[in-house]
C-alpha cells in the first residue's frame, strides 16, 4: 500500500522528505567525537535507466583512454623534477618553505602520536597538563619522530585515551600517506624521507586491510575498529554477537553501528564497529584509489600488497552490484547479511529504504560515481569497469543526475557541511578515477553549479576557503585525471583560498580549545563582530538542528578547532573543547598532499 501511495503522491512526498532531511541530518555521520560539540549523526524493479530497453549486454561503453604511463621517478636526494603542481614543490616558483615545514610538523604529530598504535587516524585525549607540555616540547622544540627518545616517556603513558578509528577519517589519512609518498618520490626528496613515508603508507594499508577483512565476509568494510590493549576507548568495549542462537541477526532492529568481536580470527586485540555508512565507505574508497595510483607500478611495493588492495576493492563493488530483495542495487552489505543503516546509494533512494522510481537523487548519484569509480580503479577489473561505464554511466545516466538533480546540499541556514564534505570528496574521486571524459565534465559542472555555489551567499562553500573543496574544484578544472594529462590552468582564487586556510592552521600540537566569536549579547541582538573586525548577522539557534550560524564564514585563523575541518560548518561562530583533546590534523594532511600531488600543465599559459 505504501508503494502505491508513494507513486501517487511521489512529488509531494519527496518535497516533504527534502525538508525533513535538512533538519535531521541526512548522511552527516561523524564517527569522531566532534570538537565543536555538534554531534553530527547520519543521518521494486532493478533500475535500468534505458528507455529503449537495451541491456548492458547489447553494447558495451568503451573507456575513453588508457591510464597514464608510469614515469620513472628521479633519483632520491636529487631534488630534480620538471612537472608543476597545484601547491608548488621545492624546485618550483612559489614554493612556500614555511607551509612545507608546517606540513612536516603535522606529519610528526600524526605518525608519532595520533596513529602510533593503529597506523591510521583517531582522536586523542591528553588529560594531564604535564603530558601536554611534553607534547608541546616534542613538536615545537625538536624535529625528531620518536616521542619517547625526546621525552623519556612512552607515548602510551603520555596519551590518556585513543578513540576509535572511523573509515572516512582513516581513509583521508591514507590518501595523505599515499600522496605524500608519491610527491616525495616523484620530486626527488631525500632518500630517508621517502623511505619513512613508504613505511607509513605500508602500515596504513595494513590497517585498511584489517578494516576490509576483520568482519570475515568478502566485500564487507567495517565502519571502524579499535584496539583493546591501549589506553582509551577500547579497554571496556562491550560487543554484541552477530547472530542469536536461532541465527537471527542482532540487534533485532538495525542501528547505526554495533561493536563486534573479530570474526576473522586474525586480530585478537581488535574489535570492530559494523554498519558502514556512505561516508565511511567513501573514506575507504578514496584510500583504495589513491594508494593504487601511487603504488601500482612502483617496484618498491610487493605484488602481495598490490594484489590484496585489488582484491579488497573488487569485493566491495561485487557486493554493491548485487540486486537486493527489494529490487535495487547499490546497498552496502553488513556482516549480518543486512544492508547497513545508512548504506543506501541507489539513485532512486529518497532516504534509507524508501525508494521512488521516478525520483532522481543527484547526491547519491555523485557519491556512487566517486565510490564505485574509486574502488573500480583500485580493483583493476574489467567487469567492474563495465558495470561502472556501461550500466551506471551509460544506461542509468548517473553523471546527468549528479549534474542536474542535486539534493540535500543547499539548504540555506540548515545546510549540512558533512554532506558537502561527502559531495566534494566523491566529486574528487569521480573526476580523477573515472575513465570517461563526458562523466568528468559532468562532475566538473556538478562541482561548479551544485556544490560550490556563490561567494557571499550564506552557507555556500564558495568563499569559505575550505581547502579540500577549493582544491577539488581546481583539480577538476585542470582536466587532469588518471587517464588524461592536465591541460588547463585552474582558477587562481580557489587555489589561493585553499592555501590561505592551510597556512592558518595552528602549529602542532593542535589542541582543542574553546572559541567564542559571538557572545551572549550579540547572539540576542542578531549582530556579531568577529575578533578580526568582521561584522555579520548571526542566527541564534537558527541553523541545522538548532545550531547557531552566521551569514559570513569565520576565517580558519579564528575559527573553533575541528577533528575534521571539511565536515564542520565554517559559519558556526562558537565551539571547542577544554584543551585536553589533540585534534589529529588529518584534514590539513589530506588537503595539503592532494595539492602537492596534483599536477598542473607543465607550461603555464
- What's the pLDDT score for residue 19? 45
| Cα 157 to Cα 174: distance, rounded to the nearest angstrom | 26
Compute the residue count for the chain: 605
For the stretch 451-462, pLDDT in tens is 999 988 989 999
For the stretch 558-582, pLDDT in tens is 999 999 999 999 999 999 999 999 9
Residue 37, pLDDT above cutoff 90:
no
Pairwise pLDDT comparison (542 vs 26), residue with the higher score:
542
In sequence order, what are the residues at sequence separation of 6 or more whose Cβ sits closer than 8 angstroms to the Cβ of residue 381?
Answer: 310, 314, 317
- What's the pLDDT score for residue 85? 98
| Cα 210 to Cα 357: distance, rounded to the nearest angstrom | 37
Residue 60: pLDDT band with limits 50, 70, 90: confident
**Cβ distance 331 to 320 under 8 Å?**
yes
Question: In terms of pTM, does the model score above 0.85?
Answer: yes
**Cβ distance 145 to 108 under 8 Å?**
yes
- What's the pLDDT score for residue 5? 41
Residue 24: pLDDT band with limits 50, 70, 90: very low
Specify the DSSP element, H or E, that contains 525.
helix 520-525
| Cα 412 to Cα 18: distance, rounded to the nearest angstrom | 12
| Cα 569 to Cα 591: distance, rounded to the nearest angstrom | 17
Residue 28, pLDDT above cutoff 50:
no
Residue 38: pLDDT band with limits 50, 70, 90: very low
Report the 10 Å Cβ neighbour count for 368: 27
Residue 604: pLDDT band with limits 50, 70, 90: low
Report the 10 Å Cβ neighbour count for 43: 22
Report the 10 Å Cβ neighbour count for 148: 14
| Cα 500 to Cα 497: distance, rounded to the nearest angstrom | 5
Share of residues in the chain with pLDDT > 90 (%): 88
**Per-residue CA distances from 190 to 79, 177, 197, 590, 597 (Å):** 8, 17, 11, 22, 17
Specify the DSSP element, H or E, that contains 321.
helix 303-321
**Cβ distance 328 to 46 under 8 Å?**
yes
In 3D space, the residue among 430, 469, 436 whose CA is nearest the CA of residue 565 turns out to be 469
Cell 576493492 belongs to: 313
In 3D space, the residue among 414, 286, 407, 322 whose CA is nearest the CA of residue 18 turns out to be 407
- What's the pLDDT score for residue 23? 37
Report the 10 Å Cβ neighbour count for 496: 12
Residue 364, pLDDT above cutoff 60:
yes
Residue 605: pLDDT band with limits 50, 70, 90: low
Residue 59: pLDDT band with limits 50, 70, 90: low
Report the 10 Å Cβ neighbour count for 558: 14
For the stretch 174-220, pLDDT in tens is 999 999 999 999 999 999 999 999 999 999 999 999 999 999 999 99
Share of residues in the chain with pLDDT > 70 (%): 90
**Cβ distance 174 to 593 under 8 Å?**
no
Residue 73, pLDDT above cutoff 50:
yes
Q: Is 448 helix (H, G, I), strand (E, B) or coil?
A: helix
Q: What cell was used for 434?
A: 573515472
- What's the pLDDT score for residue 65? 86
Backbone region of residue 174 per phi and psi (left: phi > 0; alpha: psi in -120 to 50; beta: other values): alpha
Residue 11, pLDDT above cutoff 60:
no
**Cβ distance 585 to 110 under 8 Å?**
yes
Q: What is the mean pLDDT of residues 534-552?
A: 97
Q: What is the mean pLDDT of residues 469-475?
A: 98
Residue 353, pLDDT above cutoff 80:
yes
Pairwise pLDDT comparison (122 vs 48), residue with the higher score:
122
Q: What is the mean pLDDT of residues 441-451?
A: 97
- What's the pLDDT score for residue 256? 97
Neighbour-count burial of 373, counting CB atoms closer than 10 A to its CB (0-12 exposed, 13-18 middle, 19+ buried):
buried
**Cβ distance 121 to 171 under 8 Å?**
no
Sheet strand arrangement including 535-539: 527-529, 535-539, 549-550
For the stretch 384-398, pLDDT in tens is 999 999 999 999 999
| Cα 163 to Cα 140: distance, rounded to the nearest angstrom | 24
Residue 505, pLDDT above cutoff 80:
yes
Amino acid at each position: 500500500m505504501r508503494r502505491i501511495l508513494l507513486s501517487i503522491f511521489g512529488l509531494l512526498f519527496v518535497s516533504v522528505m527534502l525538508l525533513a532531511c535538512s533538519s535531521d541530518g541526512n548522511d552527516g555521520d561523524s564517527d569522531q567525537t566532534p570538537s565543536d560539540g555538534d554531534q553530527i549523526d547520519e543521518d521494486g524493479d532493478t533500475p535500468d535507466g534505458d528507455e529503449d530497453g537495451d541491456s548492458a549486454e547489447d553494447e558495451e561503453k568503451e573507456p575513453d583512454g588508457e591510464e597514464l604511463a608510469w614515469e620513472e621517478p628521479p633519483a632520491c636526494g636529487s631534488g630534480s623534477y620538471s612537472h608543476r603542481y597545484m601547491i608548488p614543490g621545492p624546485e618550483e616558483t612559489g614554493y612556500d618553505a614555511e607551509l612545507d615545514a608546517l606540513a612536516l610538523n603535522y606529519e610528526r604529530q600524526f605518525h608519532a602520536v595520533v596513529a602510533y598504535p593503529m597506523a591510521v587516524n583517531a582522536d586523542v585525549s591528553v588529560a594531564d597538563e604535564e603530558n601536554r607540555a611534553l607534547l608541546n616540547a616534542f613538536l615545537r622544540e625538536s624535529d625528531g619522530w620518536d616521542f619517547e627518545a625526546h621525552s623519556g616517556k612512552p607515548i602510551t603513558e603520555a596519551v590518556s585515551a585513543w578513540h576509535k578509528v572511523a573509515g572516512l577519517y582513516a581513509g583521508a589519512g591514507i590518501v595523505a600517506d599515499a600522496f605524500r609518498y608519491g610527491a616525495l618520490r616523484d620530486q626527488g626528496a631525500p632518500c630517508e624521507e621517502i623511505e619513512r613515508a613508504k613505511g607509513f603508507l605500508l602500515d596504513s594499508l595494513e590497517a585498511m586491510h584489517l578494516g576490509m577483512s576483520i568482519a570475515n565476509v568478502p566485500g564487507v568494510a567495517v565502519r571502524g575498529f579499535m584496539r583493546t590493549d591501549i589506553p582509551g576507548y577500547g579497554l571496556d568495549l562491550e560487543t554484541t554477537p552477530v547472530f542469536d542462537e536461532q541465527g537471527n541477526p542482532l540487534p533485532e532492529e538495525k542501528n547505526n553501528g554495533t561493536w563486534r568481536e573479530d570474526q576473522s580470527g586474525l586480530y585478537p586485540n581488535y574489535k570492530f564497529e559494523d554498519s558502514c555508512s556512505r561516508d565511511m565507505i567513501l573514506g575507504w574508497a578514496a584510500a583504495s584509489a589513491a594508494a593504487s595510483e601511487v603504488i601500482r607500478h612502483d617496484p618498491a611495493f610487493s605484488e602481495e600488497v598490490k594484489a590484496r588492495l585489488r582484491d579488497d576493492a573488487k569485493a566491495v563493488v561485487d557486493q554493491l552490484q548485487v540486486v537486493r530483495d527489494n529490487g535495487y542495487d547499490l546497498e552496502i552489505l553488513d556482516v549480518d547479511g543486512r544492508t547497513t543503516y545508512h548504506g543506501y546509494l541507489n539513485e532512486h533512494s529518497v532516504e534509507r529504504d524508501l525508494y521512488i522510481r521516478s525520483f532522481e537523487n543527484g547526491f547519491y548519484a555523485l557519491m556512487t560515481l566517486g565510490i564505485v569509480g574509486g574502488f573500480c580503479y583500485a580493483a583493476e577489473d574489467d567487469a567492474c569497469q563495465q558495470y561502472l561505464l556501461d550500466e551506471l554511466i551509460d544506461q542509468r545516466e548517473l553523471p546527468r543526475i549528479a549534474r542536474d538533480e542535486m539534493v540535500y546540499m543547499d539548504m540555506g541556514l540548515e545546510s549540512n557541511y558533512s554532506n558537502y564534505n561527502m559531495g566534494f570528496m566523491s566529486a574528487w574521486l569521480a573526476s580523477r578515477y573515472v575513465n570517461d571524459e563526458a562523466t568528468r565534465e559532468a562532475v566538473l559542472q556538478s562541482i561548479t553549479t551544485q556544490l560550490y555555489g556563490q561567494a557571499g551567499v550564506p552557507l555556500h562553500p564558495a568563499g569559505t576557503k575550505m581547502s579540500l573543496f577549493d582544491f577539488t574544484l581546481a583539480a577538476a578544472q585542470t582536466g587532469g585525471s588518471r587517464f588524461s594529462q592536465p591541460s588547463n590552468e585552474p582558477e587562481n582564487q580557489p587555489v589561493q583560498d585553499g592555501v590561505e586556510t592551510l597556512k592558518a592552521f595552528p602549529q602542532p600540537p593542535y589542541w582543542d580549545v574553546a572559541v567564542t566569536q559571538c557572545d551572549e549579547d550579540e547572539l540576542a541582538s542578531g549582530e556579531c563582530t568577529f575578533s578580526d573586525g568582521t561584522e555579520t548577522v548571526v542566527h541564534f539557534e537558527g541553523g541545522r538542528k538548532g545550531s547557531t550560524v552566521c551569514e559570513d564564514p569565520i576565517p580558519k585563523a579564528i575559527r573553533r578547532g575541528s577533528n575534521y575541518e571539511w565536515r564542520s560548518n565554517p559559519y558556526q561562530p562558537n565551539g571547542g573543547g577544554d584543551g585536553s583533546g589533540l585534534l589529529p590534523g588529518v584534514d590539513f594532511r589530506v588537503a595539503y598532499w592532494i595539492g602537492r600531488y596534483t599536477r598542473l600543465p607543465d607550461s603555464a599559459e
